[in-house]
Amino acid sequence: MTKDKVLDEVKGYLFMVLGCIAYAISTSLFLEPNSIVAGGVTGIAVLIKLLNENAYVGMISIAINLPILLLGIRMLGWKFVIRCLITVATLGVITDLLASLPVLTHDGVLASLYGGICQGVGIGLFVRYQFSSGGTELLGRLISRFIKILSIPVCVGLLDGAIVIIGAIMTKNPDNMLHALIVVFVSTKVSEMILVGLEKSKLCIIITDKGAELSETLLKNSPRGVTMLKGEGMYTHKDHNVLLTCVKNHQLTQLKRLVYEVDERAFIIVNDSVEVRGQGFQALSEGMTEQARKDVQKEVQKAIAAADVTDEVKTSKEEKV
**What's the pLDDT at 199?**
64
Q: Does pLDDT of 287 surpass 70?
A: no
Top mean-pLDDT range of 104-113, 278-287, 302-311: 104-113
Is residue 134 within 8 A of residue 126, CB to CB? The reply is no
- Rounded CA separation 301/141 (Å): 37
Q: How many CB atoms lie within 10 A of CB 5?
A: 14
- Rounded CA separation 228/292 (Å): 33
- pLDDT, tens only, 209-228: 998 999 999 888 876 788 89
- pLDDT, tens only, 222-249: 767 888 999 888 888 888 899 999 888 7
Reported pTM: 0.70
Q: Does pLDDT of 313 surpass 50?
A: no
> Predicted confidence band at 292 (pLDDT cuts at 50, 70, 90)?
low
Q: Does pLDDT of 89 surpass 80?
A: yes
Kindly report the CA angle at 271 between 225 and 207, in degrees rounded to 5?
60
Q: Which long-range contacts does 192-198 make (Cβ < 8 Å, 24+ apart)?
A: 192/124, 193/120, 193/124, 194/120, 194/121, 194/123, 194/124, 194/125, 194/127, 194/128, 195/124, 195/127, 195/128, 196/274, 196/275, 197/275, 197/282
> Predicted confidence band at 311 (pLDDT cuts at 50, 70, 90)?
low
- The larger pLDDT score, comparing residue 66 to residue 5, is at 66
> Predicted confidence band at 293 (pLDDT cuts at 50, 70, 90)?
low
Q: Does pLDDT of 7 surpass 60?
A: yes
- pLDDT cut 90: percent of the chain above it: 25
**What's the pLDDT at 278?**
61
Quick one: average pLDDT of 129-148?
80
When the pLDDT of each residue in the chain is averaged and rounded to a whole number, the result is: 82
- The larger pLDDT score, comparing residue 299 to residue 270, is at 270
Q: Where are the alpha helices (DSSP H) in 248-289?
A: 252-262
Domain regions of the chain by residue span: 3-196, 201-273
Q: Does pLDDT of 188 surpass 90?
A: no
> Predicted confidence band at 113 (pLDDT cuts at 50, 70, 90)?
very high
Torsion of CA 289, 290, 295, 301, to 10 degrees: 130
> Predicted confidence band at 118 (pLDDT cuts at 50, 70, 90)?
very high
CATH of region 201-273:
3.30.70.120
Least confident residue range of 3-7, 76-80, 280-284: 280-284
